[in-house]
Amino acid sequence: MTTFRFNPRPVTWATVKVNAPGEDGIEVQSFRARFLILPEEERQALANNPREAMRQVWLDWEGITDINGQPVPFSETAREQLMGYGYIALGLAGAYQRATAGIETKN
């Protein structure tokens, strides 16, 4: 039997699926995001400010490239730019919600 090891500030990776607009219509794309899982009380305190909540919990990423296919390194500036697009914000919110529930989707 495995013992439960409680971590009050867990960090996990989750797949973010994005319905990205393109010339031929919507295309489902994905990347991986590293999230800090906040306790429920802290999540509720940020409920009315989803952008600030995402600033606090979105710590890193893998698999984001620019239009030329070059990797985009994680930075606060790049994170702010990405969060400014509703379709990306929706994908992030869904991935974070699944991560807080302990549900990971496969690519």
Q: Is the pLDDT of residue 104 over 50?
A: yes
Identify the sign of the CA torsion 51, 11, 78, 15: negative
Determine contact, residues 44/103, Cβ cutoff 8 Å: no
Query: CB–CB of 50/93 below 8 Å?
Result: yes
pTM for the model stands at: 0.88
Calculate the average pLDDT of the chain: 93
**Partners of 14 in beta bridges:** 33
What gap in Å lies between CA 30 and CA 79, rounded to an integer?
16
